[in-house]
């Protein structure tokens, strides 16, 4: 079969035996460009077995050698990131500059992981008790699974695998079946960087592959990113099987615009954060909460900027590309219909967009809805498309209550010139990542990325020191050397002295 996107095992393509496939499309043309293999349970076990076989040697590989491979990978990725960006655009649809941004944010995690010798240093206490020393080390878990969503086919896996590999684990990555090619490109790059066979593996597939990863005893941890219902399922199933699980879920991100905000800055930010990547970002702003009398001005400023956006093929000079699949495009459009029927005002209507792209492309233009209320499905549901809802409230407290009663808690932002109000917001808001005059507050690699409430199941965020801790187990060692007077027989509990 032409252009089948297979699995990756032992630094080479693995075709598996299932024979099942799913189509992969270019969203800007609507054309099927390949078929992705869908693993059977046997295929999944073969990939997991490979990762398990490679673990002992990689675990025992010195930090110096491991970091050398990471530095090689960093150099190769930086030199060739344009290739990866084009692959992302061809299957996801986001514009190439945005895809490059995604790769750059992933690269930051690789760079963070290059410092792993420092991050893995343990503690040492000399003479904790007489002639007794105590020290701590962190050791890798074993083969670990990463299950990623369609919207960041390179960055989200890179939140996890650089740190997992640097800390001595072996990896099975299960990418989204909607845009699977980036994973193979990254696997090839690892091979070129000198990563030994079996350390980084790719398992293509759907629920069958995921279920095997969640229950196979050889897999020691699961890092999942995707929608909330699946995140919940992954967390429940993986932890029931005794695994360490971090499962990042969906989002409904609010921006609060206070009356004293710079409205031009806020309007620019709403357009960028609402419509960038066609709203298919877990940190996209989908609800702009206008506080007090500024709502009319704000809506006018957002509308003016929105109507100027160029929608089209991501390889052309477009601001925004298509949605990922036709089904998703139609679902998002149906939310606009519902919002209109529920009484929201459609200020800018993306359903009638004229896009610079294929006639069969999955087009939906940026859409601005005003007078949205909390009972409308356009507000209650995660839409994951280029739809920005404006809600009008009278006070800061009402804005805060909207956010804190929302089931999601991934990202949020406040726009204000009042430092006291901003400080109060960062303290009171029940959300994991907060921006102050910054609409998409994605933390740097040396901080951790993660939401609260239904946006994350588990207690570990991605990357930063939380990532290092997630991919390692702590061990504390108490040792006594060269002490002939060991105290003789004493059945009492050890006490320090």
Which member of 249, 339, 365, 458 binds ligand NAD (CB under 6 A)?
249
Binding mask 395-414 for ligand NAD (x = CB under 6 A): ---------------x----
**Span near ligand NAD by CB under 6 A; candidates 123-131, 147-155, 313-321, 388-396:** 147-155
Give yes or no for residue 243 binding ligand NAD (CB under 6 A): no
Instruction: Identify which of 373, 367, 403 has the alpha carbon closest to the alpha carbon of residue 387.
Output: 367
The residues, ordered by sequence, that sit 6+ positions from 432 with a Cβ below 8 Å of its Cβ are 409, 410, 411, 450, 451, 452, 455, 456, 461
Q: Which of residues 179-208 bind ligand NAD (CB under 6 A)?
A: 206-207
**Span near ligand NAD by CB under 6 A; candidates 64-72, 117-125, 248-256, 269-277:** 248-256
Give yes or no for residue 37 binding ligand NAD (CB under 6 A): no
* 114 included as an active-site residue: no
Binding mask 449-488 for ligand NAD (x = CB under 6 A): --x---x---------------------------------
* Residue with smaller CB distance to ligand NAD, 54 or 156: 156
Give yes or no for residue 381 binding ligand NAD (CB under 6 A): no
Give yes or no for residue 112 binding ligand NAD (CB under 6 A): no
Give yes or no for residue 384 binding ligand NAD (CB under 6 A): yes
Which member of 93, 140, 226, 350 binds ligand NAD (CB under 6 A)?
226
* Residue with smaller CB distance to ligand NAD, 214 or 295: 214
> Among residues 282, 348, 390, 414, which one is catalytic?
282
Give yes or no for residue 110 binding ligand NAD (CB under 6 A): no
Interface ranges with ligand NAD (CB under 6 A): 147-152, 156, 174, 176-177, 206-207, 210, 225-227, 230, 248-251, 282, 382, 384, 410, 451, 455
Active-site residues, by number, are 282
């Amino acid at each position: 079969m032409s252009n089948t996107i297979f699995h990756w095992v032992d630094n080479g393509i693995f075709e598996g035996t299932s024979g099942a496939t799913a189509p992969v499309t270019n969203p800007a043309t609507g054309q099927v460009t390949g078929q992705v293999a869908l693993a059977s349970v046997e295929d999944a076990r073969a990939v997991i077995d490979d990762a398990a076989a490679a673990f002992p040697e990689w675990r025992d590989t010195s930090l110096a050698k491991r970091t050398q491979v990471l530095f090689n990978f960093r150099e190769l990725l930086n030199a060739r990131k344009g290739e990866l960006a084009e692959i992302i655009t061809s299957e996801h649809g986001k514009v190439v500059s945005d895809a490059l941004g995604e790769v750059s944010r992933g690269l930051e995690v690789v760079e963070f992981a290059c410092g792993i010798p420092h991050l893995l240093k343990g503690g040492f206490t000399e003479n904790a008790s007489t002639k007794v020393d105590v020290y701590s080390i962190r050791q890798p878990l074993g083969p670990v699974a990463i299950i990623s969503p369609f919207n960041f086919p390179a960055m989200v896996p890179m939140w996890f695998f650089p740190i997992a590999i640097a800390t001595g684990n072996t990896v099975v990555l299960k990418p989204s079946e909607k845009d699977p090619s980036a994973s193979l490109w990254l696997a090839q790059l690892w091979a070129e960087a000198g990563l030994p066979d079996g350390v980084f593996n790719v398992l293509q597939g759907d629920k069958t592959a995921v279920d095997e990863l969640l229950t196979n005893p050889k897999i020691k941890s699961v890092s999942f990113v995707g929608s909330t219902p699946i995140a919940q399922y992954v967390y429940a199933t993986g932890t029931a099987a005794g695994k360490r699980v971090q499962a990042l879920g969906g989002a409904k991100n609010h921006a609060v615009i206070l009356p004293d905000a710079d409205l031009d800055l806020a309007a620019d930010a709403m357009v960028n954060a609402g419509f960038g990547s066609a709203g298919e970002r877990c940190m996209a702003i989908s609800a702009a909460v206008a506080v007090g009398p500024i709502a009319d001005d704000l809506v006018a400023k957002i509308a003016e900027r929105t109507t100027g956006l160029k929608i089209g093929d991501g390889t052309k000079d477009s601001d925004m590309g298509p949605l990922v699949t036709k089904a998703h495009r139609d679902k998002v459009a149906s939310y606009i219909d519902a919002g209109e029927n529920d009484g929201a005002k459609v200020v800018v209507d993306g359903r009638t967009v004229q896009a610079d792209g294929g006639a069969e492309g999955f087009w939906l233009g940026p859409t601005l809805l005003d007078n949205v209320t909390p009972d409308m499905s356009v507000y209650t549901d995660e839409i994951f498309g280029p739809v920005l809802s404006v809600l009008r409230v009278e006070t800061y407290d009402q804005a805060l209550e909207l956010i804190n009663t929302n089931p999601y808690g991934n990202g949020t932002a406040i726009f204000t010139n009042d430092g006291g109000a901003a400080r109060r917001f960062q303290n009171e808001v029940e959300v994991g990542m907060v921006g102050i005059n910054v609409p998409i507050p994605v933390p740097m690699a040396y901080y951790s990325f993660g939401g609260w409430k239904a946006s994350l199941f588990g207690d570990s965020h991605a990357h930063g020191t939380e990532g290092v801790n997630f991919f390692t187990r702590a061990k504390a060692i108490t040792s006594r050397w060269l002490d002939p007077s060991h105290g003789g027989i004493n059945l009492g509990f050890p006490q320090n002295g």
